[in-house]
């Protein structure tokens, strides 16, 4: 079950893996995510977005960054290894329709979940503009895939090592100012990026969809740990989302909630680095 069939290190801390998950590969739609756990007794359950899937081969692709204990351990898995538990697809699929021009903004590994959405928007007959951003060139993911489907592609890096030296909000604003303005914006990336993308499009009244990745346990609506405030109402990211109207999301509260376990996570992360180092030395 869930045997890894492909692995590639994309940069220092970003990996792309594909693994067998026949049901998920068959059922998943753009915008959905999965939850994985590496140890049935003591592992944590973490949500990850689905970057791609091959229903024929029955495989699913994820792109992840090593940010905590589980992702660090997952990065040590190789082709042939199996992931103990994978649940999905979870969340509401993206609402796809033909609107005209859709502008898709991805930051960091947020480009991964953005890809299937951009692809579906293109297939639905929209003109798709993609803006991809990363701290530097090495951290850009899925450029080739995006280039293949985008009508226009803008790349930004924080350090100017590739494409424009700018934040993604700069080209986003330029597109918003065009006449006709885009009909839809989709922004996926770090919370702070999504917040500022939403602020950028707000004055232009462009409907802006963001995809939230919060703390979760079950991913099925049972715990409520993922709740966010949207338009003054409490929503569960796992079942009501993960996509919401970016103009209504209380990003400040969401970002603070993401830090709920920061101390424990930092400790676990630190311990994990030590453990991995010891393992390496033992080899």
Partner 1 sequence: MSHILPNKLREQAAEQLAALKGKELKPKDRLMIPLQEMPSQAPEKRIENMKEVALGYFEEQVKVEAARCLQCKNAPCVKGCPVAIDIPGFIKAAGEGDYEKSLGIIKKTSLLPAICGRVCPQESQCQLYCTVGKSLKNVEQSVSIGRIERFVADYARQQGKLSVPPCKADTGKKVAVIGSGPASITVAADLRKEGHRVTIFEAFHKPGGVMIYGIPEFRLPKEIVQEEIDTLSQMGCEIRRNFLVGRTRKLEDLLQKDGYDAVFIGTGAGLPKFMNIEGENLIGVFSANEYLTRVNLMKAYDKERSDTPIYNARVVAVLGGGNVAMDAARSALRMGAEKVHLLYRRTEVEMPARVEEVAHAKEEGILFHFLRSPVRILGNEADHVRALEVLEYQLGEPDESGRRRPVAVKGSEYQMPVDTVIVAVGNNSNPLIEKTTPGLETTKWGNIIADENGKTSMDRVYAAGDIVLGAATVILAMGEGRKAAAAINELLSNQ
Residue 258 Cβ vs partner 1, minimum distance, rounded to whole Å: 10
Please count the residues of the chain: 283
Dihedrals phi, psi of 258, to nearest 5 degrees: -60, -25
Copy the structure tokens of residue 275. Answer: 């453990």
List the one residue from 13, 43, 99, 138 that touches partner 1 (CB under 8 A): 43
Residue 239 Cβ vs partner 1, minimum distance, rounded to whole Å: 7
User: Of 95, 151, 153, which Cα lies nearest the Cα of 126?
Assistant: 151
List the one residue from 161, 204, 229, 247 that touches partner 1 (CB under 8 A): 229
Q: Per residue in 237-268, is it b (16+ CB within 10 Å) or e — as a string?
A: bbbbbbbbebbbbebeebeebeeeeeeebeeb
Stretch of residues binding partner 1 (CB under 8 A), selected from 33-41, 105-113, 117-125, 273-281:
33-41
State which of positions 46-75 bind partner 1 (CB under 8 A): 69-70
Quick one: 176 exposed, middle or buried, by C-beta within 10 A (0-12, 13-18, 19+)?
buried
Residue 41 Cβ vs partner 1, minimum distance, rounded to whole Å: 7
Residue 225 found at the interface with partner 1 (CB under 8 A): yes
User: Of 129, 42, 34, which Cα lies nearest the Cα of 88?
Assistant: 34
Chain centre to alpha carbon of residue 83:
19
Residue 86 Cβ vs partner 1, minimum distance, rounded to whole Å: 6
State which of positions 76-105 bind partner 1 (CB under 8 A): 84-90
Q: Which residues lie near partner 1 (CB under 8 A)? A: 23-24, 27, 37, 39-45, 69-70, 84-90, 217-218, 220-225, 227-229, 234, 239, 250, 253, 256-257, 259-261, 263-265, 268
């Amino acid at each position: 079950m869930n045997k890894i069939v492909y692995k590639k290190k994309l940069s220092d801390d970003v990996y792309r893996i594909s693994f067998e998950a026949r049901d998920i590969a068959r059922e998943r739609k753009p915008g959905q995510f999965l939850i994985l756990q590496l140890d049935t007794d003591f592992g944590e359950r973490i949500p990850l977005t689905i970057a791609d899937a091959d229903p024929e081969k029955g495989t699913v692709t994820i792109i992840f960054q090593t940010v905590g204990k589980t992702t660090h351990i997952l990065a040590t898995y190789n082709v042939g290894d199996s992931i103990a538990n994978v649940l999905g697809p979870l969340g509401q699929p993206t609402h796809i329709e033909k609107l005209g021009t859709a502008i898709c903004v991805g930051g960091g590994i947020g480009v991964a979940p953005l890809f299937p959405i951009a692809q579906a928007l293109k297939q639905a007959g929209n003109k798709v503009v993609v803006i991809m951003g990363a701290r530097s060139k090495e951290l850009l993911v899925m450029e080739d895939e995006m280039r293949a489907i985008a009508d226009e592609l803008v790349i930004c890096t924080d350090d100017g090592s590739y494409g424009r030296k700018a934040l993604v909000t700069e080209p986003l604003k330029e597109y918003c100012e065009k006449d006709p303005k885009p009909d839809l914006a989709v922004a996926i990336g770090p919370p702070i990026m999504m917040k500022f993308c939403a602020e950028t499009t707000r004055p232009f009244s462009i409907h802006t969809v963001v995809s939230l990745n919060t703390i979760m346990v079950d991913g099925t609506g049972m715990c409520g740990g993922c709740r966010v405030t949207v338009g003054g109402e409490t929503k569960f990211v796992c079942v009501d989302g993960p996509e919401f109207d970016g103009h209504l999301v209380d990003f400040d509260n969401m970002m603070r909630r993401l830090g709920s376990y920061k101390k424990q996570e930092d400790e676990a992360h630190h311990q994990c680095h030590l453990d991995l180092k010891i393992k390496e030395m033992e080899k």
